[in-house]
Amino acid sequence: KAGVTQTPRYLIKTRGQQVTLSCSPISGHRSVSWYQQTPGQGLQFLFEYFSETQRNKGNFPGRFSGRQFSNSRSEMNVSTLELGDSALYLCASSLVGVAHTDTQYFGPGTRLTVL
Amino acid sequence: LAKTTQPISMDSYEGQEVNITCSHNNIATNDYITWYQQFPSQGPRFIIQGYKTKVTNEVASLFIPADRKSSTLSLPRVSLSDTAVYYCLVGDHSNNAGNMLTFGGGTRLMVKP
C-alpha cells in the first residue's frame, strides 16, 4: 500500500509570493491533517479536512488555507509569504480522523524556504 | 489539552534498553497516551499507544502507572537506527475530539556505537 505522498518535496519562494502544497493520502483514508514544523516552534497543527470539509483549525493566520477534493487529496495554500513561513510542512492521513484512536500516517513533508 | 513534559535529550549505547519518561500531570479521564518517532527530515511515525498499565508491540513497550500522571516508553536493545526524536502526546480518544495532535518538544535520543 502506498504511503502518504507530498509534492513538491522542496520549494524556494520569495517574500510576498504565494505557494500551494499538495498531499495525497493513503488510499481509503478520508482525513487529512496539515502540520508546520520549525526549529523554534516545533510541530504545530494547521488544520484538518474530512470529507472535503475543514473540521479542525489550529492557531494560524488566514494566510494559511486548505481544501480537500472528493478523492481525499488535499492542498494547502499560503499567501503573502513571510520569512517566518520557512518550515517543513507535513501532511498526515488517517481513516476517519479521530486523533488518539485512528493512527495518523505522515508524509515526508515539503521543505519550504522563503527568501 | 494535557501538557506533557519530557527530557530534552538522552544518550544511550547500542544494545542497551532505553526508557523515556513523559509527565502529564493533568491528563483527563478520556485521554490516551501516544508516542511518535521522528527521523530528521521525515514525518513522525506512530510507535505505540495506551490508556493504562502496560502495552507492548514489536517495537516498544509503554508503561503507565495507576494514576496515569506519567508514562514510560521502553525501547529494548536499541541500535544506531533508533536515533531520533520521540514525542509523547496525550489527547482525547472520543469521536468528538477532532483530529488534532498536540506535539511537545520531544526527546532527542542519540544512540552511540
Strands (DSSP E) contained in B3-103 are 9-13, 18-23, 31-38, 45-50, 53-56, 61-64, 70-75, 84-92
Read off the pLDDT of residues A28-58 as tens digits, 9 standing for 90 and up: 999 999 999 998 888 999 999 999 999 888 8
Of B9, B4, B18, nearest to B73 (Cα)? Answer: B18
Question: pLDDT tens across B31-78, in order?
Answer: 889 999 999 889 999 999 999 999 999 999 999 999 999 999 999 999
Q: Report chain A residues whose CB lies below 8 A from the CB of B108.
A: none
For chain B, give the mean pLDDT. Answer: 90
> Tell me, what amino acid is at A31?
S
**Contact between B99 and A58 using a beta-carbon 8 Å cutoff:** no
- Cα atoms in the Cβ-side hemisphere of radius 13 Å centred on B47: 25
Q: Tell me the mean pLDDT in the region A2-12.
A: 95
- Res. B95: pLDDT tops 80: no
Contact assessment for residue B75 and residue B60, using Cβ atoms and an 8 Å cutoff: yes
Q: Which of B45, B100, B104 sits opposite A99 (nearest CB)?
A: B100
Judge if the upstream peptide bond of residue A8 is cis by omega within 30 degrees of 0.
yes
Residue B97 main-chain phi, psi, to 5 deg: -85, -10
Chain segment A65-84, per-residue pLDDT in tens: 999 999 999 999 999 999 99
What torsion, rounded to 10 degrees, do the Cα atoms A84, A58, A50, B95 define?
150
pLDDT confidence of residue B28: 86
